[in-house]
Amino acid sequence: MSEKHHLTRREFIRKSGNLVAAGSVMALLPTWAAAAAKPITVGFIYVGPRQDFGWNQAHWDAAKKIAKMDGVKVVEQENVPETAEVEKVMESMIQLDGAKVIFATSFGYWKHQLKLAKLHPDVLFVHIAALWKQGDPINTIGFRGYTEEPHYLCGMAAGRMTKTNKIGFLGSKPLYFIFNNCNGFVLGARSVNPAVTCNVVITGDWNNPVKEAETTNSLIDQGCDVIIANQDSSKVSIETAEKRGVYSCGYQTNVSSLAPNGFLTGAEWNWAAGGEFVKAWQTGGKYPNLLRGGFNKNMVALSPFGKAVPQSVRDEIMVAKQGFIDDSLKLYKGPLKDNEGNVILSQGEVIDNNDIKFKLGVRFLVEGAIGKTGLKK
Amino acid sequence: MRGVVFQNALEAVVINTAALLLTLVGFGIFVWMFGVDPFAVYRTLYLGAFETRISIETTLTQAAPLMLTALCTAIPARAGLLIIGGEGALVMGGLATVLVGVLLDGVPFALCVILLGLAGMMGGGLWIGAVGALRQYRGVNEIIATLLMNYIAIAVLNHLVSGPIRDFTRVVKAASWSIPEYMMVGTLPGIDVHWGLAVGVVACLLLYILMRRTTFGFAIDILGGNQRAAQMAGLPINQMVITACFIGGACAGLAGTMEVIAVHGFASDSLVVGFGYAGILIAFLARQNPFAVILVAILLGGIQASGGLLQRRFDLPDATTTVLQGMLFVVVLASNTLYGRFRFFQGKDG
């Protein structure tokens, strides 16, 4: 009671606080009621921190772009593990935030998303692994870009810029798309400089900064002077390469700021392509349940070139990029051997860039890669 | 005597409530510095943790594995050991469950679930029990041992799921073979929370009874109070330490079982999400009391559940929740020094 006389300002703040609190509860109702009309709430769920210079940031880039679309409000939650928790997060986004589209941006969310999609036919669930198959709920989408294509372009830059003719690739897990990325990188490099070899190390972890730094250092010690890292975040590798004075290429998102001197270019996702699904859901338009594509469908991107890359190399790379766009350039074409000497494709054999069956089955490293997949044949 | 018990309980409730309130005030100041209205944040904390059905389900889903991993620290702590190996024990329990599960294909459901639970308990129990044995017979520090064994367990998991027991039909994620679909236990009746919650609550209650109502529990407390004195009293301290470690590890292993048979159906790095480490926090907040573990796990589950809503409503980073947990941890530990300081709570016969 004694507060009454001299603490009016605090009282005021408290009252206004209550008002805001009440307002936030009231805010639920209009969102829910208006969801049928044009405005739409889109939820993004990240498995890690969204400022990781990697996988999650690539999705955050998309979230920021999608938030700028007409009538779209984005809510985001980071560090959501691939456990029962993610189901609750989705449910909570739907019930408490009124989300009508959910971007589930980690592999392990798929199973949980299928469960939720059956319960909420009015919500669109978008997943990043292109796992959708006939019989799965029609309000689910799987989409994914061919990052091996920008890796090919990174490889071209690496092949032109290397002085030792040795470049290095750090992989994370022994998974098909990591092998495709690695093959793209090696094929790109050898397309402009056949003398190049690429040392390949699979670290076994998505996120193990100590091992990434050690591996990067050891690759550089072996003479590699261009490094690319396929981790959750390539931050550690790129910073290590920059410190050691060698070139680096990025992965996932634009990480050029980490290496002002040695950054060449980078292989990026363009998850903002998912904005089309939001628009379709908002307007009742059509959307694909399964979408894969490379540069031709604007689902991947190339980071801006670093200052070290001369114009002639940039031009050459942009020509190849155009080749992917108009489908005149194929990633896998014969004659092609793996790095153990087995013939993968004979002369004249060409694998279509959209031949997903072939790409999913890639468990080899192409000739010129020095290293092992770690898998039994 | 009854009065003393009541007064002790009252003292714990009053001190913990005061600690919680102080934490909330501190957290309010913290978010206020970021330009966010503290009262709106409190409101959201409550909304996200306890107000609606989905909030409660989220909270309980978060709390379920934490109850079991907290016991991994709490039970050995009563015997005077600091075990921080819940993460590794959970992984070993999960792996054991998968390996036994694929062998049991065709065995009736009820029997399967019991055997899988036992497999998980053996996996986690032997893992932490070994640390107890190392300590008693070889003088190896149990804190360092369990910490390092976490890394070993995770490395073993990664090795197995990237090769020897990998299911290659799962192309985007390295995961083990799946247990047969019919062995999955699903969710509790009437509420969308998986069975791990019931298992966690039952385990806490059973261990509460074991610790409070049996001579074994009493002997463990003597051992925790003074190992020398326990030895002089003729207690078999080596067996008791190993048993306490085994029980703790078995609980964390059971958490691994529940993750496999109620959530994932397979083992992968999704088992390594920090349940083991969060359990340590809960064991200490609960002052190693298995019954209090239930309540503290729900409280922390609530904080984690509402953390998501804080991110979405106020665009606060996820680390905000960690700040709140950290504040709570420090304040509650500091408040432990208050016990016995207030005459009001001291019984007339005490």
Residues A215 and A283 in one domain: no
| Residue-level pLDDT at A376 | 65
CA nearest to A18 within chain B:
B39
B273 touches chain A (CB under 8 A): yes
Residue in B264, B274, B309 closest to A92 by CB: B309
Write out residues 27-66 of B within 8 Å (CB-CB) of A. Answer: 37-40, 42-44, 47-48, 52, 54-55, 57-58, 61-62, 64
Total domains in chain A come to: 2
Q: How far apart are CA B298 and CA B278, in angstroms?
A: 12
B311 touches chain A (CB under 8 A): yes
Nearest alpha-carbon partner for B67 in B183, B206, B246: B206
User: Average of pLDDT values for B93-113?
Assistant: 93
Helix (H, G, I), strand (E, B), or coil: what is residue B44?
Answer: helix
> In this predicted model, what pLDDT tens digit does every residue of A209-235 receive, in sequence order?
999 999 999 999 999 999 999 999 999
| Residue-level pLDDT at A377 | 56
| Residue-level pLDDT at A4 | 40
Is A261 part of any domain?
yes
Proportion of chain A above pLDDT 70, given as a percent: 89
Q: How far apart are CA B267 and CA B265, in angstroms?
A: 7
* CATH at residue A255: 3.40.50.2300
Please indicate whether, in this complex, the C-beta atoms of A17 and B38 are within 8 angstroms of each other.
yes
Residues A94 and A31 in one domain: yes
Residues in chain A: 377
List A101's β-bridge partners, or say none. Answer: A42, A124
Q: What is the CA radius of gyration of chain A?
A: 24
| Residue-level pLDDT at A102 | 96
Domain interval for residue A281: 10-146+272-296
B173 touches chain A (CB under 8 A): yes
Q: How far apart are CA A95 and CA A75, in angstroms?
A: 13
| In chain B, where the domains are located | 67-274
> In this predicted model, what pLDDT tens digit does every residue of B218-258 receive, in sequence order?
999 999 999 889 999 899 999 999 999 999 999 999 999 99
Compute φ and ψ for A47, nearest 5 degrees: -85, -20
| Residue-level pLDDT at A2 | 39
Average pLDDT of chain B? 91
Q: Is B234 left (phi over 0), alpha (psi -120 to 50) or beta?
A: left
B325 touches chain A (CB under 8 A): no
Is A376 part of any domain?
no
Please indicate whether, in this complex, the C-beta atoms of A83 and B40 are within 8 angstroms of each other.
no
Residue in A21, A49, A374 closest to B39 by CB: A21
Write out residues 85-144 of B within 8 Å (CB-CB) of A. Answer: none
Rounded alpha-carbon distances, angstroms, from residue B126 to A114, B85, B220, B252, B264: 37, 12, 19, 11, 23
Residues A141 and A153 in one domain: no
Weakest-pLDDT range from A187-191, A315-319, B226-230, B255-259? B226-230
Please indicate whether, in this complex, the C-beta atoms of B37 and A93 are within 8 angstroms of each other.
no
| Residue-level pLDDT at B2 | 61
Residue in A17, A80, A84 closest to B263 by CB: A84
Please indicate whether, in this complex, the C-beta atoms of B54 and A96 are within 8 angstroms of each other.
yes
Q: How far apart are CA A205 and CA A212, in angstroms?
A: 9
Residues A206 and A221 in one domain: yes
Is A375 part of any domain?
no
Residues A164 and A216 in one domain: yes
Please indicate whether, in this complex, the C-beta atoms of B43 and A83 are within 8 angstroms of each other.
no
B312 touches chain A (CB under 8 A): yes
Residues A291 and A312 in one domain: no
Residues A261 and A290 in one domain: no
Is A1 part of any domain?
no
Please indicate whether, in this complex, the C-beta atoms of B171 and A176 are within 8 angstroms of each other.
yes
Please indicate whether, in this complex, the C-beta atoms of B308 and A24 are within 8 angstroms of each other.
no
Q: How far is B154 from chain A (nearest CA, A)?
A: 11
Q: Are B57 and A90 in contact (CB under 8 A)?
A: no
Residues A209 and A255 in one domain: yes
Is A288 part of any domain?
yes
Q: Are A108 and B270 in contact (CB under 8 A)?
A: yes
Helix extents (H) in chain A: 3-6, 8-26, 28-34, 55-67, 84-96, 110-119, 148-161, 176-192, 209-221, 235-244, 275-283, 311-325, 356-360
The pairing of strands A140-145 and A290-293 is parallel
Q: How far is B54 from chain A (nearest CA, A)?
A: 6
Is A198 part of any domain?
yes
- What residues of B are in contact with residue A173 (Cβ under 8 Å)? 162, 174
| Residue-level pLDDT at A35 | 43
Q: Are B304 and B66 in contact (CB under 8 A)?
A: no
Residues A291 and A307 in one domain: no
Q: Is A268 left (phi over 0), alpha (psi -120 to 50) or beta?
A: beta
> In this predicted model, what pLDDT tens digit does every residue of B66-75 receive, in sequence order?
999 999 999 9
Proportion of chain A above pLDDT 90, given as a percent: 79
**Chain B interface test: which of A15, A45, A96, A120 (most B C-beta within 10 Å):** A96
Is A2 part of any domain?
no
Write out residues 176-215 of B within 8 Å (CB-CB) of A. Answer: 192, 194
What sign does the CA torsion over B45, B51, B54, B56 have?
positive
Residues A335 and A354 in one domain: yes
B306 touches chain A (CB under 8 A): no
* A32: confidence class by pLDDT, cuts 50, 70, 90: very low
Write out the DSSP string of A187-253: HHHHHH-TT-EEEEEE-S-SS-HHHHHHHHHHHHHTT--EEEE-SSB-HHHHHHHHHHT-EEEEEES
Q: How far is A343 from chain B (nearest CA, A)?
A: 23
Is A377 part of any domain?
no
> In this predicted model, what pLDDT tens digit does every residue of A274-300 receive, in sequence order?
999 999 999 888 999 999 999 999 999
Q: How far apart are CA B51 and CA B62, in angstroms?
A: 16
Please indicate whether, in this complex, the C-beta atoms of A95 and B172 are within 8 angstroms of each other.
no
- The answer for residues whose C-beta is within 8 angstroms of residue A189's C-beta and 6 or more apart is A155, A156, A158, A159, A162, A167, A196, A198, A368
